[in-house]
Structure 1
Amino acid sequence: MGIKLMDIVGRFSYNCDIMFRVIDIKEENGKKTAILYGEEFRLVADAPYEDLIRMDLDSRRRLEEKGRSREEQSYFLFRQDVELLKQRREYEVTDGYSNELNYFQMPGRVLHIDGDANYLKKCMALYERVGVPVFGVHCSEKEMPVKISGLLDFYRPDILVITGHDAYSKSKGTIEDLNAYRHSRHFVQTVREARRKTPHLDQLVIFAGACQSHFESLIQAGANFASSPARVNIHALDPVYIVSKISFTPFMDRINVWDVLKNTLTGEKGLGGIETKGVLRNGMPYNKKKEEP
């Protein structure tokens, strides 16, 4: 039986190093080409139909287990960072623990716009796990520039994530040419539209990009953080770790870029950014509801 839409496949010429979903199959002049979306990496790729191999369950499980191990390690390190931030806030708010803990927190609210519904679902689960208030919207990359203004008006977030799929193609131009990228220009246009509404970099923190995206153009357009400086693939969950750290960092603190990148799955080759303020705010007093007798 031949490979069909939504099958999980690998590319024989790449030793099946990445799992893909088959999104479309096109035929021209008797040759079939498949459009592939990465299962763990935010990569879109074209591949000759004959280069594809359907991944068996054992192969899929091995890659999935390897991926889960890396995800859990990043999550553990992220939770350590958040706990240290919490302890420091408690020390400051209680004047060195000399007063009673009686404060509440308002983490930064995230609007996550994703070109892939499956990735969005995974990201939403991680946001919930780490406790970040988030709104998720599935939107194709090409429609993002048109819809971003209305979405910002409706959700009024502190942090904006613009992501989905991307890829650089040598056959379409040099690495500096924005037109050589699958969706980088759509991400750039979306960032520009967002900055027209909120120009200040600390009033709306923006992460933008996907695998191999044109990092420099995204930063110049107004993103605080973006992918991909070395044009490498980024993990589907990397944007979550970046913006969650920002969400839990007090607004009076500036975030060192390396502190944000160090616990991501991809690191500085795939992600970069500029110095940015946190967005968490503390308040008091915190009035606990009394239990009914």
Structure 2
Amino acid sequence: MVIFALYFVIGLLATTLGAAAGLGGGVIIKPVLDLFGHFDLPTISILSATTVLSMATVSLMKMKQQKIKLNKVSSSILAFGSILGGILGKAIFNLIAISLNIPNITAIIQSSLLVLLLLVIVIYFKNKDKSRSYRLTNKCIILLVGLALGLLSSFIGIGGGPLNVAVLCLLFSMTTKNAGYNSIFIIFFSQISALLVVAFTTGFGAYNLYMLLVMIPGGIIGGIIGNSLILKLSNLSIEKIFNFSVILIIIINISNIIKIGLSL
């Protein structure tokens, strides 16, 4: 029961922060589950994707009720690109983690790449007010950006949240709050695609997914709480939550790299 309660709390806290700041939650769930080491990488990827999808579904339903307007044209193109990139990223992940049977090396690559990307994001947001932002309108370029986002996010297994927010702020001149809304929209489709890839390739029968019994409810409640927070908090407060979460994730991933490195 203690383990079930722990995984419920992980799903709840990760998706609450994810819904509030557009992080999604996978960027928190994945490294935390890596740290515990209870499941292998492919299973963690499915647990994370399903929990985040439950959060994104609830969040989008709430946004519709609250009549929050999204940049649906750009976000839809980014989402479509992310789906294509996600399929490619998942194929690369399966090749390295499953076919080559080097899970520890794959985990180190994932964590190291995530730390590098998050450090770049932290530096960007620290200097965001001094940096130039853009308003992309070329649909082909937007599609390529989505493709790159999906590939990286799927390979790392994070759902794309922090990458989405940074790109939406930089390339579409959105506030952190608006970027968070649109990020959830993109995450919804990217997580569906990630799960469909599993369904049509390996299937779900080979994975130990009993923790979804508590992680999905955690994701649903997290989506409700996070959506309420993003409505009440200012753009500056959302940015602080985002930066705090990203720094915390960097620390967890560095711990994972050290832990796995010592075990080799």
TM band (smaller chain): under 0.3
* More strand per residue: 1
| TM-score, scaled to structure 1 | 0.25
Q: Relative contact order (alpha carbons < 8 A, sep ≥ 6): 1 or 2 greater?
A: 2
Higher-Rg member (1/2):
1
| TM-score, scaled to structure 2 | 0.27
